[in-house]
A and B are shown apart, each in its own frame.
Chain A
Amino acid sequence: MRVLLAEDNPRLAILIAEGLEAEGFVLDRFASLSVAWESMAVTPYDLLLIDLGMPDGDGVDFIRAVRRTGSGAPILVITARNGLGDRVGGLDSGADDYLVKPFDMAELAARCRALLRRPGGCLGITLSLGNLDFDTVAREVRVGGRVIHVPPRELDLLERLMRRAGHVVSKTSLEEAMYALSSEVTPNALEAAASRLRRRLGAAGADVILHTAHGVGYMLVPAPHPTDAGAEREAP
Chain B
Amino acid sequence: MTASRPPVVPRSLFFRLSVRLALVGLVFLVVELLVVVRMYVNNPNELDHLLVTAEADRIAQEIPQMRGAAGNPVSEDLQYPLASGTRRAFLIHERGGAVVARFDDASLKIADEPPLSFLVIRTQRESWDSRFLLTGTRRVEVGRHPYWITVAIAGEGFRPFVPVIFNEIRFHVILPLILLSLMFLLFNFSVVRTTLKPLETTIAAIDRIDPAQVSTRIRAEPSLREVQALVTAVNAMLARIERSVCALRDFAGDAAHELRTPLAIMMLSIGKLPDSVEKAKLVADAQRMKRLVDQMLDMSHATALELAPDAQADLGAIAREVVAELTPLAVMRGRTIAFRDAGAARVHGHGDAIGRALRNLVENALAHTPAGTAVEVTTGPGGQCAVRDHGPGIPPERRGDVLERFRRLDKSASDGAGLGLAIVSTTMELHNGDVRIEDAPGGGALMRLIFPCG
Residues of A within 8 A of B (CB): 9, 11-12, 15-16, 18-19, 80-84, 100-106, 166-168, 170, 209, 211, 213-217, 219, 221, 224, 228-231, 233-234, 236
Q: How far is the CA of A219 from the CA of B329 in the complex (A)?
A: 12
Task: Please determine whether B324 and A12 come into contact, CB atoms closer than 8 angstroms.
Answer: no
Q: Are B327 and A213 in contact (CB under 8 A)?
A: yes
The answer on a CB contact under 8 Å between A214 and B272 is no
Beta-carbon nearest neighbor of B334 in chain A: A230
Partner of B336, one of A18, A105, A211, A231: A211
Residues of B within 8 A of A82 (CB): 294, 297
Contact A213 B323 (CB under 8 A): yes
Q: Say yes or no: A219-B331 contact (C-beta < 8 A), given A15-B265, A84-B352, A213-B324.
A: yes
Q: Which of A105, A166, A209, A215 contacts B338 (CB 8 A)?
A: A215
- Contacts A101-B261, A211-B336, A214-B340 hold; do A221 and B328 have CB atoms under 8 A apart? yes
Nearest to B414 among chain A residues (CB) is A236
Contact of B415 among A167, A209, A219, A234 (CB under 8 A): A234
- Measured CB to CB, the residues of B under 8 A from A are 257-258, 260-261, 263-269, 271-272, 284, 286, 290, 293-294, 297, 301, 320, 323-325, 327-328, 331-341, 352, 371, 374, 377, 412-415
Whether A170 lies near B331 (C-beta < 8 A) is no
Q: Which residues of chain B come closer than 8 Å to A83, judged between CB atoms?
A: 301, 352
Contacts of B336 in A (CB 8 A): 211, 213-214
Contacts of A80 in B (CB 8 A): 257-258, 260-261
Q: Is the pair B327, A104 in contact by a Cβ cutoff of 8 Å?
A: no
B-side contacts of A100, CB under 8 Å: 260
Residues of B within 8 A of A224 (CB): 332, 334
* Chain A residue, CB-CB nearest to B325: A168
Not counting A102-B266, A102-B267, A103-B267, a sample of 15 additional A-B residue pairs whose C-beta atoms are within 8 angstroms of each other reads: A12-B268, A15-B272, A81-B257, A102-B263, A103-B264, A167-B328, A168-B323, A170-B324, A211-B327, A213-B327, A215-B320, A215-B339, A221-B332, A230-B334, A230-B371
Known: A80-B260, A215-B340, A216-B323. A166 touches B265 (CB 8 A): no
Query: Residue among A100, A167, A168, A221 with the most chain B CB within 10 A?
Result: A168
Which of A11, A102, A167 is the most central at the interface, judged by chain B CB atoms within 10 Å of its CB?
Answer: A102
Interface centre among B268, B338, B374 (most CB of A within 10 A): B268
How distant is the Cα of A104 from the Cα of B320 in the complex, in angstroms? 26
List of B residues within 8 angstroms of A104 by Cβ: 267-268, 271
Distance in angstroms between the alpha carbons of A83 and B265 in the assembled complex: 21
Give the Cβ gap from A3 to chain B, nearest Cβ, in Å.
16
Q: Which residues of B contact A170 (CB under 8 A)?
A: 320, 324
Q: Collect the chain B residues with CB atoms within 8 Å of residue A221's CB.
A: 328, 331-332
Residues of B within 8 A of A16 (CB): 268
Chain A residues with CB under 8 Å of B264's CB are 12, 101-103
* Contacting residues, chain B, for A9 (C-beta < 8 A): 261, 265
- Contacting residue for B334 out of A166, A214, A231, A236, CB 8 A: A231
Task: Please indicate the chain A residues that have their CB under 8 angstroms from the CB of B266 in the complex.
Answer: 102
B427 to chain A, nearest CB (A): 14
Q: A82-B297, A215-B323 are in contact. Are A102 and B290 (CB under 8 A)?
A: yes
The docked-state distance in angstroms from the alpha carbon of A170 to that of B327 is: 12
Q: Closest CB of chain A to B365's CB: distance in Å?
A: 14
